Chain A
Amino acid sequence: MRVPVSWLREYVDLPDDLAEITDLCDRLGLVVDGVDAPGAEVSGVVAAEILAVLPHPNADRLQLADVRIDEGDFRVVCGAPNIAAGQIVPWARPGATLPGGMKLKKAKIRGEASEGMLCSARELGLGDDHEGILVLPAGTALGGDVKDLLGLDEVVLDLDVTPNRPDAMSVVGVARDLAAVLDTDLRMPAVAAVDTGHGPSIELDDPDGCPRYCGAVIDVSIGASPDWLVRRLEGAGMRSINNVVDITNFVMLELGQPLHAFDLDRLSDGSIRVRRARVDETMTTLDGVERHLEPTDVLICDGADVPQAVAGVMGGHDAEVSADTTTILLESAYFDAPSILQTSKRLGLRSDASSRFERGTDPNGVLRALARAVTLFEQLANGRLRGPVTDVYPVPVKEAAITVRPDRVRSILGTDVDDEQMVLWLTRLGLSIETRGTELHTLAPTWRPDLTREIDIVEEVARLAGFNSIARTVPHIDGQVGKLTDAQLAVRSIRAVVRGAGCDEIATLSLLAESDLVRCHVDGLERVTVTNPLRFEESILRPSLLPGVLRTVAFNQSHGSRNLALFEMGRVFARPTQDTTPRPLETQSLAVAMVGSVDERPYASQRDIEFFDLVGVIDRITQTLRIGDLTRVEADFDWLQSGRSAALSVGDVAIGWIGQLEPDVVSAWDIEGKVVACQLSVDALLSIEPAKRWYAEPSRFPASRVDLAFVMSADDPVAPVVAAVRAGSPLVSDARLIDSFEGGSIGEGMRSVAVHVVFRSDEATLNDDQIRDARQACIDVALSVTGVSFRR
């Protein structure tokens, strides 16, 4: 809301220093988004009389104007068609400054010398009017600075009013807050008393949507508004239309109560009926648009039941005030805020009126606003009230009674503001207060619908005391030690070891497009869809981390990074599997992708990243978590190359997948090279009981080592063979694959594998017999794996 500072000063004495005023506003929660001083830069622009207008010899669209000030006469080239001899206009003389800092000097325009320029309203920073040169009132003293004449020294505060403060959507409301914090009086505008009784006929069919409706019939003379009124409206960001419309807008800005003037002669019977819209009803609003109405919309209809306004949102086209209007029916009403919000939202129509009604106007300020307008009509539009005002207000809204315990206020805030000060502040805000013992019994004014509870009063006290004046303390939390849970620590460890393996952590959007899933071949996964996305790119909650990771690989390759090792830790989403919650399953997951080459030495050999490099990263994770190696079982996934892909598990617990990506997927993302990737469920990893951390003394006895070689089918996996050897004897302390080759001397389709076994006892040095027996036991168990034979 735009508030001219000079307007505020009419109701409250303010400090001279602008910074002090903006600080006070900030302190009150009336956030100053900006300070607009449109004329601050304007200088050297004076009122000049046009003596004569001559054609420009070299340009059809330009004219020459001879202008006069007290010092003499000057010639100016002008492009605006509206100038005429005898007008008094703003003349920016050479050396003048215009908004934006533009400095004028003598210039030649199409061959004719021009001493400065004549200014439109917009060129002076006064609104948008660029139609023509601004014509000043006849009789304006020549040579006078237009800054003073036009009020260009006005400073306007752009206040960001929070939704809970309807009262601050008015100049008086802002002034009231300032008066309270400055501990000074608020000067309310003068209002003549009006009689209520049987005025215009008003039928209130919908007291829920419209709890109060006041109407008055007023004879008026339509004309232009006086300068001061135009300036007020323009300062607040509105345009002047005519004196009648301007007065309704002025009162709305001043008091926060929107008013609407109907042309009485165009209202059938000159009467009003307030009702909800019917199904399929339409009406044409002021802007000429035909609106389809819903039964939730409140309508202002005339005596023939024809809708003349969408209540609180916008007037109709038919009964609009025009130059021919001689009598108006002036509406001042209180509408149900949620209804107005709903209607204005649905129609996509936010007007100055609706933005006030939807926050909640003051039901008990309706008549006063009408009376204020009547006073102004009398002064500025030859206004004459015809008969009494009709005030339909079946159930008056009462002020909220709030019991305040000053001790409670102090204890919540942690401050020692005394009762007397509280009473003073609250009184200035408009509360009526009665002290009963240790309690304050207050009545909150109806212009403050946000004040209904003691805690709301606590906020008022804090606001007026100043949030920053309250002593800062730090709470002590009994019985709690700050720490991370084991799971939170484990997640940090996982991220740390993956980083330690050379992978950079990324964070990608969790919203994807269907095409992202298709490109990744993960479109077979069930997914949760956003029903109101802004764009299709953000329409699916990611069912996999892969699309985001691949997008990042592609992005970085296109920016010149060829060797990439990336990981993301984040949630993937799946549809719920049980009826107890409608929320999706969210699984904390880890994806790693690697592409490019491994530098064996930076100045020597390189090799491509492969599947087993990624297995090495996963091993780091499982070792860190103390959960043993993951089982890899060859398995097919749509996005992975068959034969280079595996399902990961621990016992019965599925952990995820690993593999080399399908060439189709890689090329769909314009990625170069072979990409190996995996996705693990971190939640599943954390569900596995880690090995206990308990000291075991390392064996003091020497180890014996043997290598065992086996022959097996080249198609069979080797992991079961190694596992069999490891399980062969309790004396085995380690067994690992040290060699594997196919074909050659072993034969087509066959494979030789060598396993290095370490035997060791915690109790004694092993003798030859023990080693021989253990070795044989390992061989025997290995041979029990189908298709394996011992190679001597």
Chain B
Amino acid sequence: MSLAEIESLLTSEQHRADTEIVAMRTLNDLEALERSLLGKTAPASLVKAAFKDLDTKERPEAGKALGAFKHHVTVLLDARRQELAAAAAAQRIAEDRIDVTMPSRPRPLGHAHLIAQVREELEDLFIGMGYEVAEGPEVETDFYNFEALNMPASHPARSMWDTLYVDLGDPGEVLLRTHTSPVQVRVMQNRTPPLAVVAPGRCYRRDTLDARHSPVFHQLEGLVVGEGITFGDLAGTLESFTRAYFGPGITSRLRPSYFPFTEPSGEFDVTCIFCEGSGCSVCSQVGWIEIGGCGMVDPNVFEAVGYDPEQVTGFAFGFGLERMAQMRFGIDHIRAFFDNDVRFLEQF
């Protein structure tokens, strides 16, 4: 092969590369073309074998032409390869594209019952103030529900509670607890002061479920006993927890009342959260909403559990969790808590 023939062949191959490389549509086709242009059996590769037949003077020139051809083709191939790789990547992305606004694949989340949420929040609040959480039976004996709480048989104050009795024990002996106060007695029987507990739980009364009443409801009871516990401690504790629960704009007040198991006894109110104290229909224009009962543990209760009322004093308080939830979340009927409509449950 003469130099002229070599140059002609390279020219023709280069022409082929110029037209065919840009026409390749896939990386595989481009690779095949690359092999046919630059591979061992490609015409341009055969040219190299013909170099030995050339005049030594012509060899550099032939080598230069071959180098230029290879460089030219390689540049074209790389460019086209990059184009095709970019196109492939773009296509893959297009194929993988999702509508990011589609709904989630659900990992469904359940909701705690609102009363349980309120209970836990209050428990945690009192735990933060150093209290433990105590529990007691829902079905109680007369002794714990009444007698040990300074209400001996036929005490007129028993009529403050509409009591349900069950078919166990002697008639009138076993009842559904009407309040969480029996837990006070059980805690004191089993422990020595000082102590601070809250006792949340279910209570019962002879009522029918409607918008404002329920035969089953929940209370939270608090009890603190120790040396030198004062009425001021009670008032301060109620103030601290109501503020923490309802928010800094809310304050509390106490009014004298009567419970057989506390003396002095009181009711405690908080600033009406709806009108913030200015008076509205919810609070009957008084600016306060009644929350629960409280007082200093009556010495007779201490004596019933074997504590010396000269040694220790204490306070107790109790309130309904439904009422707390109603006030905090604007729920106007107690039935909602027991209907368990999931559209209600899932709001919280």
Contacts and interface: CB of A to CB of B under 8 A. Distances in A.
Contacts of B233: 414, 473-475
Interface stretch (A211-219, A456-464, A672-680, A783-791): A456-464
B263 A458 contact: yes
B231 A470 contact: yes
Interface string A157-169: 0000011110000
B235 A470 contact: yes
B256 to A, nearest CB: 3
Among B108, B128, B160, the most chain A Cβ lie within 10 Å of the Cβ of B108
B111 interface: yes
A71 to B, nearest CB: 39
B214 A509 contact: yes
Contacts of B343: 559, 561
Given A338-B154, A412-B313, A413-B232, A511 B137 contact: no
A165 B258 contact: yes
Contacts of A488: 133
A647 B157 CA distance: 48
Contacts of B167: 528-531
A501 B106 contact: no
A502 interface: yes
Nearest to B214: A509
Contacts of A503: 110
B236 A474 contact: yes
Contacts of A475: 196, 224, 226, 229-230, 233, 236-237
Contacts, number: 278
Given A473-B233, A529-B166, A559 B341 contact: yes
Interface stretch (A223-231, A280-288, A582-590): A582-590
B278 interface: no
A506 B258 contact: no
A566 B232 CA distance: 45
A467 B254 contact: yes
A772 interface: no
Contacts of B111: 499, 504-505
B239 interface: yes
B248 interface: no
Given A484-B133, A509-B338, A467 B165 contact: no
A523 interface: no
B239 A455 contact: no
B188 to A, nearest CB: 14
Contacts of B231: 412-415, 462, 467, 470
Helix, strand, loop or mixed for chain B's interface?
Answer: mixed
Given A531-B167, A538-B215, A358 B156 contact: yes
A508 B340 contact: yes
A462 B256 contact: yes
A482 B130 contact: yes
Interface stretch (A80-88, A598-606, A755-763): A598-606
A576 interface: yes
Nearest to A472: B236
Contacts of B138: 510, 571, 586
Given A565-B110, A582-B168, A555 B340 contact: yes
B221 interface: no
B298 interface: yes
A28 interface: yes
Contacts of A627: none
A561 B207 CA distance: 30
A492 to B, nearest CB: 7
Given A27-B256, A467-B256, A535-B208, A541 B215 contact: no
Interface in A183-238: none
A168 to B, nearest CB: 11
Nearest to A497: B110
Interface in B85-141: 102-113, 115-116, 120, 123, 126-133, 137-141
Contacts of B216: 509-511
A478 interface: yes
B264 interface: yes
A163 B259 CA distance: 9
A279 interface: no
A571 B111 CA distance: 20
A616 B296 CA distance: 50
B249 interface: no
B324 to A, nearest CB: 15
B202 interface: yes
Given A413-B231, A482-B129, A583-B139, A495 B116 contact: yes
A163 B157 contact: yes
B23 to A, nearest CB: 42
A163 B102 contact: no
B168 A528 contact: yes
B194 A480 contact: yes
Given A163-B157, A482-B129, A556-B341, A468 B206 contact: no
Interface string B222-250: 00101011111101110110000000000
Interface string A441-485: 000000000000101101100110001101111111111111111
A477 B164 contact: no
A31 interface: yes
A313 interface: no
B270 to A, nearest CB: 13
Nearest to B154: A338
Given A414-B230, A459-B264, A477 B224 contact: yes
B345 interface: yes
B184 to A, nearest CB: 16
A545 interface: no
Given A502-B110, A505-B110, A164 B258 contact: yes
A656 B226 CA distance: 43
B266 A467 contact: yes
B148 interface: no
Contacts of A552: 339-340
Contacts of B277: none
Contacts of A480: 130, 132, 194-196
A529 B166 CA distance: 5
Contacts of B141: 582-583
A456 B263 contact: yes
A507 interface: yes
Interface string B275-303: 00000000000000000000010110000
Contact of B257 (A31, A455, A479): A31
Nearest to B144: A583
B38 to A, nearest CB: 45
A507 B116 contact: yes
B185 interface: no
Which 5 A-B pairs give the minimum distances between C-beta atoms?
A29-B256, A502-B108, A414-B232, A582-B169, A414-B230
Interface of B: 102-113, 115-116, 120, 123, 126-133, 137-141, 154, 156-157, 159-160, 164-171, 173-174, 176, 194-196, 202, 204, 206-209, 214-216, 224, 226, 228-233, 235-237, 239-240, 253-258, 263-267, 296, 298-299, 309, 313, 337-343, 345-346
Given A492-B120, A576-B168, 18 more contacts: A31-B257, A163-B156, A342-B154, A413-B231, A459-B256, A467-B255, A472-B232, A473-B233, A477-B195, A503-B110, A504-B340, A509-B209, A534-B207, A538-B208, A564-B342, A565-B110, A582-B170, A583-B139
